[in-house]
Amino acid sequence: MIKFLNFVVTSWRSIMDLRFNPLRFINEPVLQSYLMIVLFTMWSAFFGLIAMFYFGWFGYSIPVSIIVHMSILVPVVITNGVFLDAERTNAPWLEDFKRRESLIAYMRGKPVVKWDIDKEA
């Protein structure tokens, strides 16, 4: 379960984290959040229209689509908050998880630390 949650958090951060997207240049966190919600609603409506017209789902409801998307994203946001808090406070369970993951990668033959021969030479 922790491995799945780690995948969810990594995926979330690669797209939605304000440290990586262009909204990071806005200094107001409230404005950043507002713009993210507006973009989320816009994309949910857009995909609802695609589903209605291109897939022929004329009974498709855009407000229901937004609610369904929110029911998926709210737990992801909460999970992201838990992981961020764990990283900030150096939670023991997170350190244990990282250590086990690197040990499993080592046992499978994947290099834990990549050796760069050009830097070592």
Residue whose structure tokens are 């209605």: 52
Q: Residue 45: its pLDDT value, please?
A: 82
When the pLDDT of each residue in the chain is averaged and rounded to a whole number, the result is: 75
115 pLDDT band, cuts 50/70/90, is low
Domain spans in the chain, listed from the N-terminal domain onward: 2-120
Mean pLDDT of 53-58: 75
pLDDT in tens, 91-107: 787 777 777 777 666 66
pLDDT one-digit tens code per residue, 22-37: 777 888 777 887 888 8
Contacts of 60 (CB under 8 A, 6+ apart): 48, 51, 52
Whole-prediction pTM: 0.44
Q: What share of the chain is helix, strand, coil (3-state, %, to 5)?
A: 75, 0, 25
Place of tokens 């609603």: 41
